[in-house]
Homo-oligomer: A and B are copies of this chain.
Amino acid sequence: MLIATPQSMFFEEPLALTSGASISAYTLRYETYGTLNADKSNAVLICHALNASHHVAGCYPDQPKNIGWWDSMVGPGKSLDTNEFFVIGVNNLGSCFGSTGPMHINPATQSPYGADFPVVTVEDWVNAQALLLERLGIEQLAAVMGGSLGGMQALSWTLQYPEKMRHAIVIASAPNLTAENIAFNEVARRAIVTDPDFNGGHFYESSSRPETKPKRGLRIARMIGHITYLSDDVMNEKFGRMQRVELAEQVLTQTSMSSNTPPAYRYSTQEVEFQIESYLRYQGDKFAEYFDANTYLLITRALDYFDPSRSSNGSLSAAFAKVKAKFLLVSFKTDWRFSPQRSREIVNALVDNRVVVSYAEIDAPHGHDAFLLEDQRYLSLVKAYFKNLTQELNQSPNL
C-alpha cells in the first residue's frame, strides 16, 4: 500500500473570487504520489467531488484503514500508475479537510468564518489549483481528471487554462445541473440551514453549548445524497424489502418457523424496519460526525452554479471553442444523477469544435457511485488511456 503524506501550501496573496469577494490568505492541503520527472511533464491533477479530499490514494502510516477515496484507480500498477505519473490531490477551498474553510479563522474578524466564508465556484477552485501547480513548478499537466463535481473542475480547467494540460478525463459528470439535481441540493441545504443547531452558520463559536453542530441536517442531507448515488436496481439488489432482524430473532425464526415466512413487522414508524433504513441511518450518522455543514452548503452551491454555457447564450459548443486538451469522457448507464445523456452533451459540443474525444458508456449497475467502484471494464479503459498518454509523452515530451 502506498504511504500518503499530506502537505500544506500557504498563499499570502489574496485570491479574487468569481463572486467579487476575495480570500485574503489561505492554505491548500494536498498530497502527491509518484515522482515528477525531469521535464515535469508527467503530472496528473485529481479533482475531488462533494465529500472527498486531497487524500486520493494510499493510507497514512498511523491510519492503515484511512484509504484514499480513489485508491482503486490511483497507485503503483493501477489505472493511473504512480510509477509513471506524478499524481496530485488537492483539498478545495471551503472544504473541511485541511484547506482553508468555514471552520478557520477569518483574519478580518478573528472568529471562524462560519456562514461568512465567501461563496466559491468551480472556477475559483481551478484558479487556486493552478496557483498550487505554479508553486510546484508544473507548467503543463499531462492530465486533469475527476468524477462528478471533480469532472466539472477538469472540464473547467480546459476552458480557464486551455494550454495547461494535454488531456482532460471527465467521469460521471455533466455540463451543468438539471432542475432535479438543484432540487436535491436545495432540500439538503434546507435540512441543514433549518436545523436549530446551525445557528445561522455560526455554530463553531457556541462555547456555551460545546459540540453543537447541525448533525440532524447533515444526516438528512447525506441520506438524500446516498439515495441519488445508487441506482434503483442496485438498491433493490442490495437491500430490496429485506427486513432488519436482530440476531436473536433470526435464530428464533430459523428454528421455530418455516424459512419462507418473513419475520414479523414491528409496526413502528420510528424504529428501523427495513435494511435500507438501517443503511441510510448509518451513512447519515457517520457523515454528520466528520463533515462540516457550511462546507456542504458551499460545495452544493458550487455545483448549482457551474454552467460554462452561461457566458455564451447557453451554447456549450460556443463555450468550448477555446478547448485545446484531448478528452476522455466516461459515463455509467444506471447513473440517474449525472446520466449518460449529460456526458453526451459534452461529447457533442467537443466534437462540434473538432476536439479529439473518446467516450465510453459503461453498463455498470451501481448508479452514480460506479465512478468510485472497481469495475474492470472501467478501470481497464482508463488504464489503456493512460498507457497511450505515456507513449505520447515519450514521443513528444514538450508540446
Contacts and interface: CB of A to CB of B under 8 A. Distances in A.
A126 interface: no
Given A182-B277, A307-B241, A284 B190 contact: yes
Interface in A254-281: 260, 262, 265, 267-270, 273-274, 276-277, 280-281
B236 A183 contact: no
Interface string A235-249: 110111100000000
A55 interface: no
Interface stretch (A5-13, A69-77, A149-157, A191-199): A191-199
A396 interface: no
Contacts of A281: 186, 190
A219 interface: yes
A227 B178 contact: no
Mostly helix, strand, loop or mixed at chain A's interface? Answer: helix
Interface stretch (A30-38, A203-211, A296-304, A370-378): A296-304
A361 interface: no
A276 B186 contact: yes
A187 interface: yes
A223 B190 contact: yes
Contacts of A187: 220, 223-224, 227, 280
Closest 5 CB pairs of A and B: A19-B267, A269-B297, A179-B235, A119-B267, A179-B239
